[in-house]
Structure 1
């Protein structure tokens, strides 16, 4: 029995970790696309990614008989999915690609990984609740890690473009709104429906602003492979792997394993693109990951268990 539970936990960990790697690979693919094919813009790839992935997820929902149209039968759920698309998914997707274009996938992903702290700040301001000790420690670590990345130890100057900091910061805000807005509808309508409609509506809204067909891009096999990797591997597959892990491990554990996203983005950036990263970048990234662990892991629980074992 214990062996069976251990196998399920291992499977869940592998699924969540693979999702993080897929997300990290998506950022590197986007960085490669922007550098080798400058005609591709963050707006274009965001539109194509969201519309394509949204349609695929909704088709999967239909095949699983999860009633994709049910979300539109109530005004409240319809309003929330629209808000989720416009205020959650557009910032977390579009601003992230802008940060990748202005800098590189590794730094953009690390800055976006600060999103949980935006959620903490929201709860502190909204509900007037004092932060827990772990949250205070985490915020201090996150601040130090970000400061290392941004200044490289020189507090009077920036080591990265202000645009990277701007778009990376806004994508972190997008991570928060992306997590907070759909909370009320996810249990009722399922992740496939909520995310599928959110992605589709966000992509259509951006096409309303600037239709994708008005922007001509060169289509070579290399560009097509990168776009397919971003849509299928970095969006659809990553989403399915991450949500599937919930059947075997707790969502909090899965969120902790999301640390594989900035780690894989850094490793792939160095190995595949030759992106120069300093010790400040790597050290700052590790501090940010450790900071998010402070939010996710219940250290007091583990200390109690450790004390019980020693006793």
Structure 2
């Protein structure tokens, strides 16, 4: 019996790890594809990022909270009992969830999904700099080099390697970098809420509140664009696969592999967005843009490995 257990355990361990990797990779690819689907809606079907943002937040929030209620029951409402938790979830919903969703879609509208996604993934470098400032401690040489590589990657991505002109519009750069700062806030701010209430409840309320708040600026019935079979499919894909399923897979993967590995494998999102944008929407990506993307992927990898240590 003892020998059999010794033989089986490594196989079970390996199977669980492979399952975790498969889950996070699938989730990341779905996120990347949903970004490209959003670009298709904005640039080919005349949809607005405001409408897609509010509808995505409202529908995804309701679905996630419904799933959370099925599992947690009355625990879903507990987050509103303490004054501190109420303030934090509203702050997360507006400055975190709503901000990161809208700025990302705005960056796609003014540029493309590939560039927007890669620029958003500057967030780990921003987080690293913030933590170093907060702790009043200089980053290690490895981390410093990784941040410099990220800055180089950003330069190559937005200029195409030429200092004379931007390869994408200034608004695309603005919204893309704003999206990175929003993602950094989204990542850092809710850690106490997440540890207390869990991801599904926090993200579900964040989406629903963000959607309700944005409805006062752009109501969900104020629609513009062309409804076709392909545009309907794109909207459904973004909400179901690019939000609900991708989020669920991402959470499930943390049961089988470490958080640092999850963030490392999730870095395939900008790569998937880039490849699909180039193949499907004929986005032009030259050598400089590919090198810039590679630089930012290297930064994510290095920072994930350093955090693991």
Structure-1-length-normalised TM-score: 0.93
Contact 1:91 1:173 in 2 (8 A): no
Gaps of 5+ in 2: 1-8
Q: Distance in 1 between matches of 2:88 and 2:157?
A: 36
Contact 2:17 2:257 in 1 (8 A): yes
Match of 1:58 in 2: 65
Contact 1:89 1:178 in 2 (8 A): yes
Contact 1:30 1:226 in 2 (8 A): yes
Match of 1:45 in 2: 52
RMSD: 1.4
What are the superposed Cα offsets for residues 35-92 of structure 1, whole Å, 9 maximum, x if unpaired?
A: 2211x10110000001100000000001112521111111111111101011111221
- 1:191 equivalent to 2:191? Answer no
Q: Distance in 1 between matches of 2:69 and 2:76?
A: 6
Q: Distance in 2 between matches of 1:142 and 1:236?
A: 30
Instruction: Name the SS of the counterpart of 1:157 in structure 2.
Output: coil
Alignment of 1:1-311 (within 5 A): 1-38=9-46, 40-65=47-72, 67-298=75-306
Contact 1:57 1:236 in 2 (8 A): yes
Contact 2:157 2:293 in 1 (8 A): yes
Q: 1:223 to 1:150 in 2, by over 3 A?
A: same
Contact 2:61 2:203 in 1 (8 A): yes
Q: Distance in 2 between matches of 1:134 and 1:184?
A: 29
Aligned-residue offset at 1:121: 1.8
Aligned-residue offset at 1:216: 4.3
Moved more, 292-301 or 147-156: 292-301
What are the superposed Cα offsets for residues 232-268 of structure 1, whole Å, 9 maximum, x if unpaired?
A: 1111111000000011001110001111100100111
Aligned-residue offset at 1:300: 9.8
Moved more, 205-214 or 186-195: 205-214
User: Between Structure 1 and Structure 2, how many residues are aligned?
Assistant: 300
Moved more, 193-202 or 223-232: 223-232
Q: Distance in 1 between matches of 2:136 and 2:69?
A: 42
Structure-2-length-normalised TM-score: 0.94
Contact 1:16 1:258 in 2 (8 A): yes
Contact 1:145 1:283 in 2 (8 A): yes
Instruction: Name the SS of the counterpart of 1:212 in structure 2.
Output: coil
Instruction: Name the SS of the counterpart of 2:189 in structure 1.
Output: helix
Q: Distance in 2 between matches of 1:218 and 1:31?
A: 14
Instruction: Name the SS of the counterpart of 1:87 in structure 2.
Output: helix
Contact 1:105 1:265 in 2 (8 A): yes
Gaps of 5+ in 1: 302-311
Contact 1:137 1:294 in 2 (8 A): no
Instruction: Name the SS of the counterpart of 2:190 in structure 1.
Output: helix
